[in-house]
């Protein structure tokens, strides 16, 4: 571009085709300007900080789950699950992706962001930080323990949902900044095919912008009004459907930047080239089309949606395999050509010609290799019949730790290894490269141990998102999980060491690595995007209107009827379930409001208990309890003993609850907890806990008179 980049595009004279080709930056060094360095580094430092905090939460989870440690009373296990998911899956990935794209798009479009896109990028970052603050406050207070998916009817504090809204809107502004930069460049250079990096960045952000429409609709129209008390109930099936409209495309939002690095950075590092520009663009366009209308395959086990529509979206899910296989073919072709050009022959001899001792390459390669079993696991989870064997088991967790936490995350970390010194004007030393190699290998080994343990435990039926379930002491299947829980803890510990290494390396590269000199330049921006001549790429491959129209048609076809069916169902509203606080995520009930003293209880205490239950709601079970605390406890063991056989209640407790809970009077020493000898709950509160469940305890473990009798027995035996 001639003149300043701030000059309005519409004032530029219309250049001829020869002039447009002449202007293309074919000889300029690809890199990030000083003006954009602060923007890129702010995103990178924020992302790596989120990775560190999320890694701490993940380590504590694995150690607590395996029985290697006990969390302090002020920290809940499910708070850690929620924090780990949000920090890793949302904050780390989104913030880094935007920073990476700002750097790459600026590098290939005139070397810097124009004034408008740069301003939008900073505004978006500010909104994302504000959103993070609003999410963290209720999360730390125990008012947003709703896990990363924030499924209804679990209800969080309104600030949590407002924080999510600000974060998503901030990311939208980041996407618009990339769109504006791309459009301005295209208008300046005419009908010239855009640089491949810019094309891939636009495609990725389009997936994000479209996918987040689902979760934005859920949060704005359902969750926020519901959490503010404007509505009493929420349509759970609709909220889950809207979430998974977003949830599965989110996976491709993580993977497409990794694909970008694999397509463009890896060939440069190995001294090769992009195998086919056309195949790369086609794969990204297919990902746009097939990645969004597939969310129902996450709801295969849920009632309320016809199986035919689920089957349609399962088919679209399997269609995503096509661009993935195209990508695999292109990448291996690039590597083989590079190896053979270096003189390595034989069927696989070219592998020896790859730079295995370059950490920048090794990280990308390990991410690619791990994605192979990760993708195979995804095919299992997307299948009607195979999914039933592992649905909601820790097999699922092992799967996405391969796809997201390695294929994407390890690629992002390896990208930081060259992006940070490039942006800060520093060099990568051999010593730094050795530390980077240690980080890549420790991540790969730790993930192999942890994920393999998760997959095997999942095949043995171990549930996910649950601190511990042993189904009673000595249960054979549950007992078989022990070695794999230990494997998860060992792998998680190694991974945490790798996270610390990654954080330390990034800080070193940003602040302590040697500065560039005239003879030793800064770390390169390794992009193999070849100079465009505007002739070889068909125009339909960059026709955004065409591909977005196809996407819109598929979305309507896949979702219109299921959503209509959901609205036509009756009695779909559910009241809020408040997440409990405590080291088990449900062992410390919220403080119960004081209730006025009730009239003297009738002689039929069982009937009074039933009436009390009828007056309570399904969330915490405190309202409507008959009598005050003083009339309970000892009376439950004496005055009410006439209506309840305490010996029978003791036996029922020992058989049904003793495997988890310790109670001296019953002679039980359950290892899960809590220790009921110190409980301060009265009989009605205990009964509601039995009926509604909480933490690792499923709802309805005992019913009717059995629940009431055991509650009275426990209250009396504990002296509460």
Q: Could you say which DSSP state residue 264 is in?
A: I
Residues 6+ apart with CB under 8 A from 91: 46, 47, 50, 54, 128, 132, 167
92 catalytic per annotation: no
Q: Residue 204: is its pLDDT beyond 90?
A: yes
Residue 451 · residue 484 · CB < 8 Å: no
- CATH top-level class of 605-718: mainly alpha
Active-site position among 253, 400, 484, 559:
400
Going by their DSSP bridges, the two strands 662-663 and 577-578 should be labelled as unpaired
In 3D space, the residue among 379, 17, 457, 386 whose CA is nearest the CA of residue 193 turns out to be 17
167 catalytic per annotation: no
- Which segment, 13-22, 113-122, 519-528, is predicted with the most confidence on average? 113-122
Q: Residue 615: is its pLDDT beyond 50?
A: no
Neighbours of 466 (CB within 10 A): 17
Q: Which helix (H) or strand (E) is 578 found in, with range? A: strand 577-578
Q: Rounded to an integer, what distance in angstroms lies between the CA atom of residue 458 and that of residue 392?
A: 9
Superfamily of domain 1-231: Cytochrome c oxidase-like, subunit I domain (1.20.210.10)
401 catalytic per annotation: yes
- The whole model's pTM is what? 0.79
Cβ burial of 574 (10 Å; 0-12, 13-18, 19+) is: middle
Question: What is the arithmetic mean of pLDDT over 606-626?
Answer: 38
Residue 197 · residue 116 · CB < 8 Å: no
CA 228 to chain CA centroid, nearest Å? 26
> DSSP states of 514-539 as a string?
PBP-SSSPPPP-----PPP-SSSS-G
Question: What is the arithmetic mean of pLDDT over 433-442?
Answer: 98
Question: What is the arithmetic mean of pLDDT over 469-473?
Answer: 66
545 catalytic per annotation: no
Q: Residue 660: is its pLDDT beyond 90?
A: no
Cβ burial of 264 (10 Å; 0-12, 13-18, 19+) is: buried
Q: What is the pLDDT of residues 118-173, one digit of tens each?
A: 999 999 999 999 999 999 999 998 899 998 899 999 999 999 999 999 999 999 99
Compute, in degrees rounded to 10, the torsion defined by CA atoms 541, 542, 545, 548.
70
Q: Rounded to an integer, what distance in angstroms lies between the CA atom of residue 1 and that of residue 189?
A: 8
Neighbours of 169 (CB within 10 A): 18
Residue 409 · residue 90 · CB < 8 Å: no
Active-site position among 118, 240, 248, 532:
248
CA-to-CA separations, 511 to 44, 161, 271, 450, 561, in angstroms, rounded: 13, 36, 29, 33, 55
Helix axes 307-319, 321-341, angle to 10 degrees: 10
Active-site position among 65, 118, 157, 399:
399
Residue 506 · residue 416 · CB < 8 Å: yes
Q: Could you say which DSSP state residue 233 is in?
A: E
In this prediction, residue 344 carries a pLDDT of: 87
Q: CATH 1.10.760.10 region(s) of the chain?
A: 605-718
Q: Residue 462: is its pLDDT beyond 80?
A: yes
Q: What is the pLDDT of residues 331-384, one digit of tens each?
A: 999 999 999 988 888 888 899 999 999 999 999 999 999 999 999 999 999 998
Residue 575 · residue 232 · CB < 8 Å: yes
Q: Residue 596: is its pLDDT beyond 60?
A: no
84 catalytic per annotation: no
Active-site position among 252, 253, 371, 496:
252
391 catalytic per annotation: no
Active-site position among 43, 157, 401, 532:
401
Q: Rounded to an integer, what distance in angstroms lies between the CA atom of residue 712 and that of residue 714?
A: 6
CA 459 to chain CA centroid, nearest Å? 22
Backbone angles phi, psi at 321, to 5 degrees: -60, -30
Q: What is the pLDDT of residues 76-115, one digit of tens each?
A: 889 999 999 999 999 999 999 999 999 999 999 988 999 9
Q: CATH 1.20.210.10 region(s) of the chain?
A: 1-231
Q: Residue 677: is its pLDDT beyond 60?
A: yes
- The residue whose two tokens read 């110190």 is 678
Residues 6+ apart with CB under 8 A from 502: 48, 51, 413, 416, 439, 443
Count of residues making up the chain: 720
Neighbours of 303 (CB within 10 A): 7
248 catalytic per annotation: yes
Helix axes 115-140, 158-189, angle to 10 degrees: 160
CA 310 to chain CA centroid, nearest Å? 23
Q: What is the pLDDT of residues 495-504, one digit of tens each?
A: 999 999 999 9
- Among left, alpha and beta (phi > 0; psi -120 to 50; other), residue 585 is left
In this prediction, residue 635 carries a pLDDT of: 43
Active-site position among 23, 68, 340, 465:
465
- What 3-state class would DSSP assign to 155? strand
């Amino acid at each position: 571009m001639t003149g300043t980049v701030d000059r309005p595009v519409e004032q530029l004279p219309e250049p001829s085709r020869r002039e447009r080709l002449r202007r293309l930056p074919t000889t300029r060094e690809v890199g990030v300007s000083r003006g954009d360095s602060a923007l890129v580094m702010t995103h990178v430092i924020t992302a790596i900080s989120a990775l560190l905090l999320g890694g701490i939460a993940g380590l504590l989870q694995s150690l607590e789950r395996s029985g290697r440690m006990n969390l302090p009373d002020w920290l809940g296990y499910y708070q850690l699950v929620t924090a780990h998911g949000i920090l890793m899956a949302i904050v780390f990935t989104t913030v880094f992706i935007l920073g990476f794209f700002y750097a790459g798009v600026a590098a290939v479009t005139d070397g810097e962001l124009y004034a408008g896109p740069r301003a939008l990028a900073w505004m978006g970052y500010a909104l994302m930080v504000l959103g993070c603050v609003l999410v963290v406050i209720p999360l730390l207070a125990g008012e947003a323990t709703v896990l990363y998916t924030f499924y209804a009817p679990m209800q969080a504090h309104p600030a949590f949902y407002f924080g999510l809204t600000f974060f998503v809107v901030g990311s939208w502004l980041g996407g618009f900044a990339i769109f504006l930069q791309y459009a301005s460049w295209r208008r300046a250079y005419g009908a010239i095919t855009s640089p491949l990096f810019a094309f891939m960045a636009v495609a990725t952000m389009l997936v994000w912008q479209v996918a987040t429409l689902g979760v934005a609709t859920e949060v704005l129209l359902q969750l926020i009004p519901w959490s503010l008390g404007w509505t009493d109930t929420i349509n759970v099936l609709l909220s889950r459907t809207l979430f998974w409209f977003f949830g599965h495309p989110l996976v491709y939002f993580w993977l497409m930047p990794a694909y970008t690095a694999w397509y463009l950075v890896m060939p440069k590092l190995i001294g090769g080239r992009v195998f086919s520009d056309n195949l790369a663009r086609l794969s990204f366009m297919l990902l746009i089309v097939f990645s969004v209308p597939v969310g129902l395959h996450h709801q295969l086990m849920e009632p309320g949606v016809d199986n035919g529509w689920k089957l349609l979206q399962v088919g679209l899910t399997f269609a995503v395999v096509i661009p993935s296989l195209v990508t695999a073919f292109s990448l291996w072709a690039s590597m083989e050509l590079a190896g053979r050009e270096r003189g390595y022959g034989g069927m696989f001899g070219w592998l020896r010609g790859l730079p295995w001792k370059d950490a920048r390459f090794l990280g990308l390669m390990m991410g690619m290799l791990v994605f192979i079993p990760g993708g195979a696991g995804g095919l299992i989870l997307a299948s009607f019949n195979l999914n039933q064997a592992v649905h909601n088991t820790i097999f699922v967790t092992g799967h996405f730790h391969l796809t997201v936490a390695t294929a994407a995350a390890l690629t992002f970390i390896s990208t930081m290894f060259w992006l940070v010194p490039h942006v800060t004007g520093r060099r990568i030393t051999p010593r730094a490269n050795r530390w980077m190699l240690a980080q890549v290998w420790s991540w790969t080994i730790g993930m192999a141990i942890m994920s393999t343990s998760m997959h095997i435990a999942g095949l043995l039926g171990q549930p996910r998102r649950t601190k511990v379930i042993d189904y009673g002491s000595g249960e054979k299947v549950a007992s078989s999980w022990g070695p794999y829980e230990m494997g998860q803890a060992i792998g998680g510990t190694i991974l945490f060491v790798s996270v610390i290494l990654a954080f330390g390396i990034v800080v070193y590269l940003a602040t302590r690595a040697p500065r560039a000199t005239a003879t030793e330049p800064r770390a390169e921006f390794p992009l193999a995007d070849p100079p465009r001549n505007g002739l070889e790429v068909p125009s339909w491959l960059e026709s955004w209107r065409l591909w977005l129209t196809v996407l819109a048609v598929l979305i309507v076809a896949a979702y219109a009827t299921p959503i209509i069916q959901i609205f036509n169902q009756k009695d779909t509203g559910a009241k809020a379930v408040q997440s409990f606080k405590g080291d088990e995520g449900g062992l410390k009930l919220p403080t119960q409001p004081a209730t006025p003293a009730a009239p003297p209880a009738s002689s039929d205490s069982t009937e009074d208990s039933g009436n009390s239950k009828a007056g309570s709601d399904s969330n915490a079970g405190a309202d409507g309890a008959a009598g005050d605390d003083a009339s309970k406890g000892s009376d439950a063991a004496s005055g009410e003993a006439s209506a309840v056989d305490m010996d029978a209640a003791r036996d029922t407790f020992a058989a049904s609850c003793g495997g988890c809970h310790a109670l001296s009077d019953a002679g039980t020493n359950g290892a899960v907890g809590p220790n009921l000898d110190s409980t301060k709950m009265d009989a009605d509160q205990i009964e509601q806990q039995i009926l509604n469940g909480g933490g690792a305890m499923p709802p309805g473990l005992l019913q009717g008179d059995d629940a009431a009798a055991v509650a009275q027995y426990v209250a009396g035996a504990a002296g509460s």
